[in-house]
A and B are shown apart, each in its own frame.
Chain A
Amino acid sequence: MTDMDLLLEHPNPFRMDVNKMQELRFRAIQDAFKHHYSNNEVYRKFCEKYNVAPEDIKSNEDLLYIPLLPSDFFKELSISQDPEDITKVASVPKEQILTYFTTSGTTGKPSKYPFDRQSLERVNKSNTSIFYNVTGLREDDYVLMLSPSPEESKTGLVQGMYRALKGLLKNDEQIGFAIKGGVLDEKLVTDMISSTSYRPRHFYGPPFIYKSLADYILQTGTKVKLDKGSKALITGGWKRVEGEINRNELYERIEKAFEIPKVDIRDGLGLTDIFSIIMECELHHKHVPPWMHVTTRDPKDLRKEAELGEPGLISFMSPLIESYPAFIITGDMGKKTHEEKCACGMNGPTIEYLRRADGLAARGCAIVLDAAIKAMRTTT
């Protein structure tokens, strides 16, 4: 068994010994780095530019030297006129690529990521483990995804969660989808959740759909009483409700509409570039799975990690994926809230998302990037 498999197959991965966890993770990432360095010409050249080779990665601290690919790089290749461009990021032969997943592209430019079979299976297994171990979902539960079905959407949010649930739940009928043909029918949703016999029943989806559903339930006086242990799992999309409702207000509305206590309303941090999610425990701390290396980097020197509790750029390394280097630097600011142990009993670091880094326009009168792109969109 590889170190990666030892981690992924561990019966209680979030509670394994911290030192053992670090040791296995380090070796898994070291192997993954060797693989991408050897099989991906573009990535190797990028590493050479920074004078880093596999033999330089000898300890956990050295992981900070592994060059990271920015999320935007995938975006730029995905929108390129040349469809072959996206294959330049692959670390496996073209014929091994099974599918391309996309991000939701809420900013107008969806990104594509190539997946081979093994990477896909590992990612699914990882997500299943996260929902089982961190959020406590079990095989007899019912999950209503507040999204289209995987046939209607290729986004990571839908595909990733669906595949994770398939690995966890006994039957297909334990998964429902709230959006059909692009339409959210609130009445149908409340009927679906009331008619299933599986217990407990959970929701999974973005904040704006929760808001819409909760508003419908509260306005119409529809009675939706869920079960002990029912959870509202939230993923992404906070930007869409910005200015309309804040986190506390949404939690209160969900609590009131679905009678789900706040302890069971769990937010997730979607790592869209690697089709993974980091979920909250009952203490609302987002737990990094043992096989991932998540750091917050000093934006002024990406080879340095921000201090515990201090803001930095969220970066993650996932050895689960062989089809492209899943060593990513995001444009999001976050902070680590624990390094080794959370009061909930689980081990490993926890992380908190702070905001999208947006410091360019603030210190002058030039219109840059986002504002200009918006200006271009409104006129084209």
Chain B
Amino acid sequence: MVINISGIASYEKSDIFPAYYFPETSGIYFPGISMFEVTTRTVKNQYGKLGVEIPKLNKGLIEDILDHLNSSREMYLKGKSSSEILNIIYKNMELWSDSSYTYRKKAEELIPITMGFSPQMTRRILDEMTGGFKRDLSKITAKENGIEQIFCIPPSVPGPQVLTIIRGLLNKSSVFCKSSFDDVFSSLYARSYLDVDERVAKCISVVPWEGGKPEYQEIENFIYGERSKKDAFVIFGRSKTEEAIKQKAKPGTNIVSFTRGISLGVIGKEMLTKDKIDYVAVHAANAVCMYDQRDCFSPQLYYVERGGEISPSEFSEILAEKMQNLENEIPRGELTLDASATIAELMSTYQLLSLTGNLRLHEILNNGSLTGAVIYKEDQKFEPSSSYRVIRVKPINDVSEVPGLVESISDSLHTVGVALSEEKKNKLTEGMKNFGVKISPINAMYQPSILEYELFN
């Protein structure tokens, strides 16, 4: 099928949505991308069915897109002041805060089908994200560093693409976002700039393809291998794409990698009192359940100090109660077939190990099905979780033990969420000063911040 690029309105009531966004270029200033072919790929799960439109890519089309992004940047973005750009971004974020906004409604409809989050979780993610980002935008100071074009490789969750587009625009860079076939949110978010400033919207493109596949080799060689010093890659997560970029990029190419993906929590005995436990456990549960524990800031283990009014083992039980409440309120989403397989195997293993006395298992259920678990084990060894709301709890005698317990994975550590006295927090920060890890209050660890994602120094 050959189609002309059309406006978003045509998709409003459609059961098809494009995973790409190439801005309309019928303007008089430069030749644009007018015609290209698309195929439709059907995705379906318990939340519905969607035809995801995928463009047929070739080097010529990519060259057109990049030329177009460059020209748009020169013409529309470069001349704008930082406050003008900030204003555009803020307006856009305000639109997204409104649950009746067309794109937001579409995102609430499509994220569950494509990314597998439950509708309740989708709303929560969008609420938290827009609320947090709006707060951040009021504090941000824009800096330019000469990077003209940013190539963003986000994972398949909402957030990283938003952060990069915002940071990119503030830097007066155009943004080329490589998305995947199960991500229509990137396309939705990029398109929403049409509602605040059509010209700025021309500085963003979203292009989906399956990284590493032989049919995309020529394109990847071109995109990854032929960048200049005015371009930069922003990579989230560890993937074949990251490997391909690092392999193909010219020496000296700007690459910003957010590849740390393990987070954990540390809870001090002073917080394990009857009057504080509810607050701590609710936030600890939130941190696990938000994004179905698929994000880099999702904790995979809680180290809990012994000697409090409430023991680490009792804490694991209370945490499970809070996670159960969250399951009722914002259920875990749908797993892919392979993730279901791995989780099924793991859950049976934990159930059996609880019967052999090797661990204590608290199950989280939804209509009789296991949808999460808290695993309490007496040993202190760091063990990663499986994601999808499975958290380990292990006892420690003192927070000073934690740096030594996670030293071997310090390169992969993203966030340490803490519920600690100021004194202990400082002690932990000092102990982890060489790890390059973010120490965050436990109630904030699941809220990404634009302020922390400074792409370039």
User: Which B residues lie within 8 Å of A88 (CB)?
Assistant: 356
In Å, the complex CA distance between A365 and B412 comes to: 12
Specify which of B261, B353, B407 is in contact with A367 (CB 8 Å cutoff). Answer: B261
Q: A69-B348, A363-B294, A365-B294 are in contact. Are A380 and B342 (CB under 8 A)?
A: no
Contact with B along A121-143 (1 / 0, CB 8 A): 00000000000000000000000
Decide if A80 touches B352 in the complex (CB within 8 Å).
Answer: no
The segment out of B63-71, B246-254, B330-338, B420-428 that lies at the interface is: B330-338
Decide if A76 touches B342 in the complex (CB within 8 Å).
Answer: no
Q: Is A333 an interface residue (CB 8 A)?
A: yes
Specify which of A73, A311, A358, A375 is in contact with B412 (CB 8 Å cutoff). Answer: A375
Q: Is A283 an interface residue (CB 8 A)?
A: no
Q: Is A31 an interface residue (CB 8 A)?
A: no
In Å, the complex CA distance between A223 and B164 comes to: 61
In Å, the complex CA distance between A375 and B353 comes to: 25
Specify which of A49, A364, A366 is in contact with B351 (CB 8 Å cutoff). Answer: A49
Which of chain B's residues 347-401 have a Cβ closer than 8 Å to chain A?
A: 348-349, 351-353, 355-356, 358, 382, 384-388
Decide if A376 touches B352 in the complex (CB within 8 Å).
Answer: no
Decide if A46 touches B344 in the complex (CB within 8 Å).
Answer: no
Specify which of B342, B386, B411 is in contact with A375 (CB 8 Å cutoff). Answer: B411
The segment out of B143-151, B196-204, B295-303, B437-445 that lies at the interface is: B295-303
Q: Is A45 an interface residue (CB 8 A)?
A: yes
Q: Is B275 an interface residue (CB 8 A)?
A: no
Q: Is B130 an interface residue (CB 8 A)?
A: no
Decide if B344 touches A376 in the complex (CB within 8 Å).
Answer: no
Q: Is B340 an interface residue (CB 8 A)?
A: yes
Decide if A365 touches B356 in the complex (CB within 8 Å).
Answer: no
User: Which A residues lie within 8 Å of B262 (CB)?
Assistant: 366-367, 372, 375
Which of chain B's residues 153-205 have a Cβ closer than 8 Å to chain A?
A: 155-157, 160, 182
Q: Is B75 an interface residue (CB 8 A)?
A: no
Contact with B along A58-102 (1 / 0, CB 8 A): 000000000111111100110010000100110000000000000
CB < 8 Å A-B pair total:
170
Decide if B352 touches A73 in the complex (CB within 8 Å).
Answer: yes
Q: Is B452 an interface residue (CB 8 A)?
A: no
Q: Is A308 an interface residue (CB 8 A)?
A: no
Decide if B344 touches A313 in the complex (CB within 8 Å).
Answer: yes
Q: A359-B341, A359-B342, A375-B411 are in contact. Are A73 and B387 (CB under 8 A)?
A: no
Nearest chain-B residue to A371 (Cβ)? B238
User: Which B residues lie within 8 Å of A361 (CB)?
Assistant: 238, 387
Specify which of B116, B351, B410 is in contact with A363 (CB 8 Å cutoff). Answer: B116
Decide if A68 touches B341 in the complex (CB within 8 Å).
Answer: no
Decide if B408 touches A380 in the complex (CB within 8 Å).
Answer: yes
Contact with B along A352-379 (1 / 0, CB 8 A): 0000011111111111110111011001
The residue among A360, A365, A373 with the most chain B CB atoms within 10 A of its own CB is: A365
- What interface size band does chain B fall in? 35 or more
- Min distance, Cβ B367 to any Cβ of chain A, angstroms: 12
Specify which of B294, B340, B384, B387 is in contact with A299 (CB 8 Å cutoff). Answer: B340
Specify which of A89, A363, A369 is in contact with B336 (CB 8 Å cutoff). Answer: A363
User: Which A residues lie within 8 Å of B409 (CB)?
Assistant: 372, 375-376, 379
Q: Is B47 an interface residue (CB 8 A)?
A: no
User: Which A residues lie within 8 Å of B182 (CB)?
Assistant: 363
Q: Is A42 an interface residue (CB 8 A)?
A: yes
Contact with A along B308-347 (1 / 0, CB 8 A): 0000000000000000000000000001111111111110
Specify which of A73, A300, A311, A364 is in contact with B348 (CB 8 Å cutoff). Answer: A73
Q: A42-B352, A359-B338, A365-B155 are in contact. Are A371 and B358 (CB under 8 A)?
A: no
Specify which of A46, A299, A372 is in contact with B337 (CB 8 Å cutoff). Answer: A299
Q: Is B237 an interface residue (CB 8 A)?
A: yes
User: Which A residues lie within 8 Å of B345 (CB)?
Assistant: 70-72, 313, 329-331, 357
Q: Is A302 an interface residue (CB 8 A)?
A: yes
In Å, the complex CA distance between A290 and B386 comes to: 36
Nearest chain-B residue to A355 (Cβ)? B338
In Å, the complex CA distance between A364 and B291 comes to: 9
User: Which A residues lie within 8 Å of B272 (CB)?
Assistant: none
Decide if A364 touches B294 in the complex (CB within 8 Å).
Answer: yes
In Å, the complex CA distance between A72 and B292 comes to: 23
Decide if A359 touches B157 in the complex (CB within 8 Å).
Answer: no
Q: Is B17 an interface residue (CB 8 A)?
A: no
Please, could you name 10 A-B residue pairs with CB atoms under 8 Å apart, sorted by A?
A: A67-B348, A69-B348, A70-B348, A77-B358, A330-B345, A359-B339, A360-B342, A366-B262, A366-B298, A368-B386
Closest 9 A-B residue pairs measured CB to CB? Answer: A359-B338, A364-B294, A367-B261, A359-B339, A357-B341, A372-B384, A299-B340, A365-B237, A299-B341
New A-B contacts (20) at CB < 8 Å, excluding given A42-B355, A299-B337, A333-B338: A42-B352, A46-B351, A49-B355, A76-B349, A331-B342, A333-B337, A359-B338, A359-B340, A360-B387, A360-B388, A362-B156, A363-B182, A363-B294, A364-B155, A366-B296, A368-B384, A369-B384, A371-B261, A375-B411, A380-B408
